[in-house]
Structure formats: C-alpha cells, structure tokens
Amino acid sequence: MASDKIIKSRFFFEDEVEEKLAEVPTEEPDSWQADEKLAKVGKPYSRIDGYDKVSGTARYAFDMHLPNMAQAKTLRCPLAHARIKGIDTRKAEKLSGVLAVLTHRNTPEIKWYGTSFLFDTHLRYEGDEVACVIAETESIAEQAIKLINVDYEELDHVVDAKEAMQDSAPKLYDSGNIRNGEPGTYSRGEVEKGFAQADTVIEDTYRTQIAIHNPTEVHCSVVNWDGDRLTVWDSTQGIFRVRDGVANSLNIPLNSVRVIKKYMGGGFGSKLEAGKYTVMAALAAKQIGRPVRITLDRKEMNLAVGNRPDSVQTLKGGVKKDGTLTALFHHSYGAIGAHPSNAQCSWPLKSMYKCDNVKVEEYSVYINAGRARPFRAPGHVQGFFALESLLDDLAEKINMDPLEFRLKNYADKDQVYNIPYTSKVLREAYQKGADAIGWQNRSEKPGSGRGPVKRGIGMSSQIWWGGGGPPAYATLKLNRDGTLRVIAGTQDIGTGTYTFMAQVAAEALELPMEKVEVILGDTAVAPYCGASGGSTTAPSVSPAVRNAAENMKAKLISGAAAHLEVPESQLTYQKGMVNHKTNTDKSIAIDQLVREMGEQVMVSIGKRGANPEGYMINTFGAQFADVQVDTETGKIRVNKIVAAHDIGRVLNVKTLENQMHGGVIQGLSFALMEERVIDRYTGKVVTFNMHDYKMPTIMDMPDIEMFIVSGGDPKISSTGVKGVGEPAMIPTPAAIANAVYNAIGVRIKQLPMTPDKVLNALYR
C-alpha cells in the first residue's frame, strides 16, 4: 500500500494563495485519462439528498429544535459610525421571558477581524453588533432589544471609497482608511515602453457596484453545551474554520467543539468563517445552561455578513494594428467596508491574455459599511467586466473581430509565474460558444439594428484557479453487508458534494450507487477537508475518495488472498467480488469477505495527492450573450447565454448544469440588477430587503446552453477534476456588457446596467 509524506501545499483558495502542511500519498492510482469513459462518474445522477430537500424532511441549521432551547437576537448599531458612551439593559432584562443580555460589559474581550472585538465600543458601521438578547421566544428577544437604551456618540462617517481616500475624510482607524497604507502593486516588463510600441491606446474607467450574497438560507447557529463540550449546528461553508474560530474565541480545546452542517441553502462566500453570532450564542448558552438558537433576519443579512466590494477601475490598453497587445495598465480602488478585506480585481488583466508589459496598482479602502467577504469569484467578476469592455473597444479601434483579437493574444502559458498550465482547452470553448450563439451573424456595426428594440451579441473569456489541492482526506468504511460509507470533513453547500462523492466511490469499487452512503459536515467524525470556497471542493476531495477506494480495493485483495490462501497477484477486483484470475472456484464476494474477517467494518483512508510541481492549474471558459435592448425604456433583456468551459473532468453533468445555471443567473443579476445602495448623508443602507435589493425572477431568465470542452486533466490528480462554481459566473456580466454595446453602440461603463443608466446614456 502507498506510503505517505508531508509537504507544504500551496494553491489558490478564492483569490489568495493558501499554504498548509498536508500529508499526501507518495503513490497514487493512475489518473483517469482525459477521454476515459467511466461508468458512474460524469453521469446525471439526481442528488442523493434531493428527496430530503424536496419533501421537507431535510433539517437545516435553521430547523434544529432542541428541548428547552432559547432564542437569541442581536442589537445592531443603527448609525454608520458611533461610539458607545453608555448602555442600559435593565429594562430589557426585566421583560418577562428574557434570559440574558450580553454586551461588551459582561463578556470577555474577544478579538475579532484583527481590528476589533466581539462587542466593540467603537462601532464602525450600521449593523455592527452592540448586544445580544436571549429569551424564551424570538419575539420576546426582539421586543427586549428595543428596550435596551444605548447612548451613542455619533461620529462622522464616510461611505464612499473615493471620499474615504482623501486626507480630510473621517478615519475608521488611526492608521488611515487605505488598507496597509498603500496600494497592492504588480508589474512585469516595461509598461511605458509597451504603450510606446502601440498603434492604438485606450484608457477608460469602469465601475462596479457593491453586491450582497443574500443566500436563500440566512446565517444561523444552534448551540448546545454538554458539560464543557460544545456542539454547533451551523449554516457554514467551512466546518473546520468554524470549529477553530469558535474554540479560539472561547479559549477552549478544539476537541471540545463539534460543528455539524448537513444541508445548506447557499453561502456564495458569505459563510466561510465563524460568525460573531455563533460565539454570542455559545456564551449565552453557557450562561443560561440551555441550548440557544440564533438567526439573522434579511435586514441583518444585507448589513452585516459580507458583500462584494465595489470597484472603480481605470484601465489602459495598448495594441498594435495586427492585434498584438503591447501593454496593460490597471489602477483601481474599492470599498472593503469597516474591517480588513480585499478589493483587488486585477487578476483577469494580469493573467488572461498574453501581454509582456503589465502594471497594476490597486487600493482596498475602509468605509463605514459592512465588511466585504469573498463573493463567488472575488475580483474576477469585476475585473473581467472592465478588461473585456476595454478589449472590445480596442478591437473595434483596430477593426478586428473581438474573438479573433482574443485568439491573437491567447496565452500559452501562465503569464504571472511564467510556467505551463496543466491543461488549457480554451480555443475549443471559443469555437463551440461562437457556433452556438451564431457569432457569424453578429452585426459588425454596433447600434445599427432597426426599430426601437435592438439586438446584440457579445462575449467574454474567463480564467480562474479551481485546481484545489491537499490537505483533503476521506475515510471509507465497508460494512459486513457490503454497503459502503464515505466520510469526509468537507460540506455540501448545495452544490452536490454528497452525490459526486458517492459516484466516485461507487465508480472505483464498481458498486451500485444505492450501496454508498456519504457522511459530511461533522468535525467530530470526519477527517479534515478545507472550506468550500474557491471552487476547490470537488478537485480537492474527489481524489481523496478515489484514493481511499483504491486502498480499500488493495485491502480486499489482501484479505481475500489470506482467506483463499492464494497469492495476491492471482486475484483481481471486480464489481464487489475478488476473483481468481484463472480458478473460478477461488472467488469471494466482499460482504462475505468482511464477515470472514470478523470485523463489523473495514476502514481505508484516502488522501488528496500533491499538485504537480512547476505547473499552474486554471479553469478556462468563454461565455457568449445574445441580448436585446429596448431603447425607448432602457431595458436590457438577455435572450441567451452560451457557456463553454474547460473545467477538467465532469463528475455529474446534472449538478454541473445546476452550478452553471446558478452562476450565469448570478452573473446576469450582477450585470443588470443587484446593487447595495447606501444613503450618503446618513451612511445607512436603503436596500435592506429583497424587494429593494433586486434579484431577477424566473421571468427574467435567459436560455442557457452549456458546453464542457474538457475531458479530464490527469496531471492534477487521480480524478482530473477542476472546479466550476466560480468560473460559471465570471464572464457573464462582461459578455452581457459587450452584447449591449453591440446592440446600441453606446458603452455602459457602470454596473448594474439598469434602465436609468441606459436611458441616460442614450438621451444625454
């Protein structure tokens, strides 16, 4: 059996490199080859948890009801910037049914965000946590919150990144509002020289809005102490992160915290860390000696659990007449809210196209608003909107077809690290997408359509990481009846993880799907896997499952050899049987073998192998949009999106399609509707409900056609899988924006492209 070693593993998690020690196998089974036809992997199995969800038997964290459970609600700061001068909770405490009120005065000083505390007296945004009330019912808790009397000293606020960068702006921190005091920078080649070589140079400024994750399921925890052990049912994308965060905050051993998450109604990046609410509930539960449930309402969701930072991006691009990009420059700033986060969005410009001279300068700026968090392809969605708008304008200037222009600047190796990709199948994506959208019928003269409703076609490329990496482990347990249990410390955040894990195990051990059960989302029983973000779950975890299955196979052969008293080399594994190669009498079914071995279960462990040295792992794709713009009303309708992507091997084409549709819809929504609006004078959010924070309905949906152009990427892992969650959304807004330009001949340089912006552009 394969031996193991420890390595320092580095890979992109969201838009930052994560570094971790990981145990990896020194030998792995041969990877499934790119064109290998598999029996179960890739097939459109329905979700194995689908029935539970549809029938309502699935219990989300929100649905957990423990005997004697109390309810908690949070008092949040109603002002954009304030200091607590005094706080009087007596009235609230006296209200019948109130069990406890937590504030900065009666709780330990627990560090948060590195810049603040669980309960800080310096409140930096509308929504900052002031107190937590625990009561017999939610409605009592809500009433009690209103009885808390807080004496706020109102401070000057700033809610716009540009204003916040001025010296005269109110400061959130003594060190100033620019995070780290300086921009993030990057450069390669000599950008000035590059511009000098260009025949055409364009500079323009593009803006994107702040968007809120707004998953269907609100943030919520149920906590229960059993002695000094704490169990947390949480709606989270990272059970181990929650465990670590909660244990650190409470200063208790990791062993004492168990985090469980079975089902989830979406996170999109807003649930990648331990929430203050979980720690508040845990403190309260300890104090009152009862389980506590804490939930956020939709307004809290829109204020306090993350957002996609906005961006003001000034891009400059130089191009020769023959279409060669000679230089690219990116300057941007974006608001990260009141606590450390990241508003950078230059990765697309740095990495998508071949260009020798690149320079980047980008600022992350504190403002008095809720803190930004990773949001489905952080930086990339914003960055591609700007980059691809600029590229289309450059192509038009030199009279070149936009697609041809992109092919002309196709990058054959990674541009930042100057190393080869493990695989890149983007040309095929361009081809498939162009054919399906009818690129050849695209009008070359923008805005030339007749009548008030004008049609246009546009496209955008996509790059993202999504290769995942170790550490990720899975345990397999074979029962004496031949059923198999897969256990891993990842979590299914609604993406279909349960189902593809069963498929991979069933594939490797040639078992029917019904024989496989999958346990995820429980830190007490499952081996470690990373958080579900960065499109890393499937590429990290699926090889661990496959490797565990292959190890199990080896064990079964070894067991059968001992039992049948034949050499291992004479035996092969097939469909739940260990067979002798020549002697048909010498074969044994695995359930019988497990019984013979006298064990209830057989256990094997699988580990995600190391990524190959000296390669970049990226996903690629292209999306094409067909839109119509009503020039009398300014309304944009997206008729169709064609999404053609290279994502390595497909694990389940059905859940893949779900991811694609979800990504495209979220992209469309970002392009056309969603926007967090803040009132400048009060610094308070006005779009705090799902009516004013607009998301599309089924009526606004386009046709979506999907092509996967990749087979599998055997260089990466034993399964050859890359991620898809984020790639699906990245190019959609840019493709729509380019299609809108093609339709009306006027470029909308600011998202969302709402009717007022279109009308203002047309009726200037």
- Give residues in contact with other proteins (CB under 8 A): 78, 139, 142, 632-635, 673, 677-682, 684, 686-689, 691-692, 694, 696-700, 754-756, 759-760, 762-763
> Shortest approach of other proteins to residue 147 CB, angstroms?
12
Integer Cα distance of 545 and 223 in angstroms: 30
Residues 6 or more apart whose Cβ sits within 8 Å of residue 139:
none
> Shortest approach of other proteins to residue 299 CB, angstroms?
9
In the complex with other proteins, the residue whose CB is nearer, 468 or 634, is 634
In the complex with other proteins, the residue whose CB is nearer, 58 or 453, is 453
Residues 6 or more apart whose Cβ sits within 8 Å of residue 727:
377, 462, 464, 466, 535, 619, 620, 621, 645, 647, 663
In the complex with other proteins, the residue whose CB is nearer, 61 or 80, is 80
In the complex with other proteins, the residue whose CB is nearer, 260 or 673, is 673
Integer Cα distance of 333 and 309 in angstroms: 9
> Shortest approach of other proteins to residue 108 CB, angstroms?
30
Integer Cα distance of 334 and 178 in angstroms: 10
> Shortest approach of other proteins to residue 338 CB, angstroms?
18
> Shortest approach of other proteins to residue 80 CB, angstroms?
12
Given the structure tokens 């969005």, which residue do they identify? 345
In the complex with other proteins, the residue whose CB is nearer, 354 or 680, is 680
Partners of 221 in the beta sheet?
A: 234, 294
CA angle 290, 293, 299 (to 5 degrees): 150
In the complex with other proteins, the residue whose CB is nearer, 157 or 262, is 157
Given the structure tokens 């930052």, which residue do they identify? 16
In the complex with other proteins, the residue whose CB is nearer, 614 or 699, is 699
> Shortest approach of other proteins to residue 755 CB, angstroms?
6
Integer Cα distance of 316 and 327 in angstroms: 8
Q: Are 336 and 163 in contact (CB under 8 A)?
A: no
Integer Cα distance of 54 and 439 in angstroms: 40
Locate 161 and state its tokens: 């990144």
Backbone phi, psi, residue 427, to 5°: -55, -45
Partners of 589 in the beta sheet?
A: 577
Residues 6 or more apart whose Cβ sits within 8 Å of residue 588:
560, 563, 564, 577, 578, 596
Q: Are 157 and 328 in contact (CB under 8 A)?
A: no
Integer Cα distance of 383 and 580 in angstroms: 58
> Shortest approach of other proteins to residue 665 CB, angstroms?
12
> Shortest approach of other proteins to residue 126 CB, angstroms?
9
> Shortest approach of other proteins to residue 266 CB, angstroms?
20
In the complex with other proteins, the residue whose CB is nearer, 645 or 684, is 684
In the complex with other proteins, the residue whose CB is nearer, 419 or 686, is 686
> Shortest approach of other proteins to residue 509 CB, angstroms?
48
**CA distances in angstroms from 295 to 138, 176, 223, 276, 528, listed in the order given:** 9, 34, 12, 11, 27
> Shortest approach of other proteins to residue 693 CB, angstroms?
10
Integer Cα distance of 177 and 589 in angstroms: 67
Residues 6 or more apart whose Cβ sits within 8 Å of residue 373:
213, 269, 270, 272, 273, 305, 306, 307, 341
In the complex with other proteins, the residue whose CB is nearer, 612 or 755, is 755
In the complex with other proteins, the residue whose CB is nearer, 344 or 631, is 631
> Shortest approach of other proteins to residue 302 CB, angstroms?
11
Of 674, 629, 637, the C-alpha closest to 382 is 674
Given the structure tokens 């549709």, which residue do they identify? 661
In the complex with other proteins, the residue whose CB is nearer, 672 or 716, is 672
